[in-house]
């Protein structure tokens, strides 16, 4: 949750006030017959799991093309000590193996890391 930076601004978080977490929200949606909602993240979010990248590539090819283009554009930018990559394997997104984590049943610790405040 963000704290307002201006004196005139107020933020309200009704789900937090009701002490709802993601699981509770998903349970409510399922009980009401809504489809499952994906986690919110920017197209170029580096905290995506392989499953999320794979779903984007297979189900939203326009977003995938934007992410690949962004990944290529960020390579070798000044002020860094090495190349920049969106995928955690540090290879171009277009070449990344998007099956590794799930095939090995490796749990990812940072899938819910995005707080929506990276500024990108």
pTM for the whole structure: 0.64
Domain presence at residue 86: yes
Structurally, how many domains does the chain consist of? 1
Question: pLDDT-derived band of residue 118, with 50, 70 and 90 as boundaries?
Answer: low
- For 11-53, the pLDDT digits (tens) are 999 999 999 998 899 999 999 999 988 777 889 999 998 889 9
pLDDT of residue 34: 95
Look up the domain containing 71 and give its range.
42-107
Token pair in block for residue 23: 């699981």
CA triple 15-21-23, angle to 5 deg: 130
Question: pLDDT-derived band of residue 102, with 50, 70 and 90 as boundaries?
Answer: low
Token pair in block for residue 118: 């990276």
pLDDT of residue 117: 56
HSE-CB of 91 using CA atoms within 13 angstroms = 6
- For 55-90, the pLDDT digits (tens) are 999 999 999 999 999 999 988 776 777 889 999 999
Domain presence at residue 10: no
Domain presence at residue 96: yes
Domain presence at residue 2: no
End-to-end CA distance of the chain: 18
Domain presence at residue 13: no
Domain presence at residue 114: no
Token pair in block for residue 101: 């984590």
Token pair in block for residue 22: 């993601």
Domain presence at residue 60: yes
């Amino acid at each position: 949750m963000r704290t307002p930076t201006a004196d005139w601004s107020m933020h309200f978080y009704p789900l937090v006030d009701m002490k709802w977490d993601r699981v509770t929200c998903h349970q409510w949606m399922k009980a009401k017959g809504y489809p499952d909602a994906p986690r919110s993240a920017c197209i170029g979010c580096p905290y995506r799991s392989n499953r999320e990248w794979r779903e984007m590539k297979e189900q939203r090819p326009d977003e995938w093309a934007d992410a690949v283009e962004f990944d290529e554009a960020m390579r070798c930018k000044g002020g860094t000590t090495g190349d920049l990559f969106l995928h955690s394997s540090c290879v171009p997104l277009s070449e990344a193996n998007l099956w590794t984590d799930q095939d090995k049943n490796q749990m990812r610790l940072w899938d819910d890391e995005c707080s929506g405040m990276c500024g990108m």
